[in-house]
Amino acid sequence: MRLGANSRTALGNMAAKAFSVPLEKIFRFAMLAVAARALKEAAFGRFQFADTVTALLVLGTDLGLGIWTTRALARGQPDRAAEIVGTGLWVRGLAALPYLVLVAAAAWAVGAGDTRAVLCFLGVSALAGAFVEYCGSVFRGYERLRDEARLNVVRALLVAVAGLSALACRQSVVALAAGVMVGSIAAAGYGLAIIRRRYRLPTPLRGAPFDPRLARAAIREALPLWLATLMSLVYFKGDAVLLRFFAGDAAVGSYSAAYKIFEATMILPSIVMAASFPALVRAHDQDSSHRRRSEVGLGMALFGLGVVVGAGIFLASGLAIRAAFGPAFANAVPALRVLAFAVPILFLNYGLTHFLIARRLERYNLAFTIVMVVLNLGANLMLIPRFAGLGAAWSTVGTEVVLTASCLLTLGWAPRASAYPPQPPEARSATSKVRTSE
């Protein structure tokens, strides 16, 4: 598998992700598993419902600026690094204002009860998490995934410790959400401190530059990325909202238990693509044969890895649910077995969608995700009322299959459409601006 010109950097970054992402997911998963056992299906379902709603709403603060920042820094613009990062942070901060209004409206709409309080707490938590994610995009642009790895592990540890400590003090879903909020705010402060001290980049409270023209250009360029990500999240997360409407909190709780295990498998393709994406971007400045070898190698590796992981989940589904969430969540086993069929396809799609972005074919990615949302929504509306969580799982499988076919057809049809213009010899990587000291 060709990782690009700087394969040593890519492999080092992959090692950092391989070490940190499992730790991060273990902390998060452990917190949810303990919480599920303590809260039971219905209360756990309310937590997952609120988490889904805030995750969908907070994406509105992203505007595609995360991956735009990574791409801008990775392509070698060291003299504008402070301007790029500062403008991105300011735009995200301004976008937080309408987001908070939407969270308040959602909390009012659900009516009185603990779901309202959970939505408010998780709304603030999601906003803090958005700034953590933006810090990670800066680190990826500098190809310093070790810093991203450290931040993500610290974030997961803070959230888990704060959430479980609050749950120990008071066994309620509201206490859990409040603890998660405290941990997320602390993690956001830590991430911004790294950007300020280690990278010598300003933050909004410390003189970060804001360029209105750059902001408009960034939003215009990143808009397809943002809309595509938003649509992807809708068809990944929207089933929890429909499940609550058609089947109730308990159904959301049991399906969420299965989905958490399914979702945990995404750490593997994320490790590979986070380490390889900057090199993929640079590969498009080179000849088409090099680009194609890189994509084919990555795609085959991701699909093969997904086959192994999916087979393991299918065979051990019952044991996995009992070990993680307890016998009270036995209803989650059939849904997990269906989701296992989607794992290989999901792994491959993780690579294919990144190939589209690296080729600057975001407009196709956006078109596909809009179609996927429509298909997934239609399938869920037909299957969830009759089959509850099992119907949602089959909808996920079908959506991933259609996405694979769409991406493969486009990548084969338009191999040269988006190649980047060659960079001048004097262009340097943004990593040259990072201090090498710890």
> Using one digit for the tens of pLDDT, what is the confidence trace for 235-279?
677 788 888 888 888 888 888 888 888 888 887 887 777 767 666
Q: Is the pLDDT of residue 99 over 80?
A: yes
Q: Is the pLDDT of residue 5 over 50?
A: no
Nearest to 120 by CA among 51, 61, 35, 39: 51
| Tens-place pLDDT, residues 102-148 | 999 999 988 878 889 999 999 999 999 988 988 888 887 777 778 88
* Global pTM value: 0.66
Instruction: Tell how many helices (H) and how many strands (E) occur in the chain.
Output: 15, 0
For the chain, give the percent of residues with pLDDT over 70: 81
Q: Are 57 and 269 in contact (CB under 8 A)?
A: no
Structure confidence at residue 104 (pLDDT):
92
Burial class (CB in 10 A: 0-12, 13-18, 19+), 97: exposed
Q: Is the pLDDT of residue 436 over 60?
A: no
Q: How many whole angstroms separate alpha carbon 291 and alpha carbon 280? A: 8
For the chain, give the percent of residues with pLDDT over 90: 19
Q: How does residue 289 score in pLDDT terms, banded at 50, 70 and 90?
A: low
Classify 396 in phi/psi space as left (phi over 0), alpha (psi -120 to 50) or beta. alpha
Structure confidence at residue 288 (pLDDT):
62
Q: Is the pLDDT of residue 213 over 80?
A: no
Q: Is the pLDDT of residue 429 over 50?
A: no
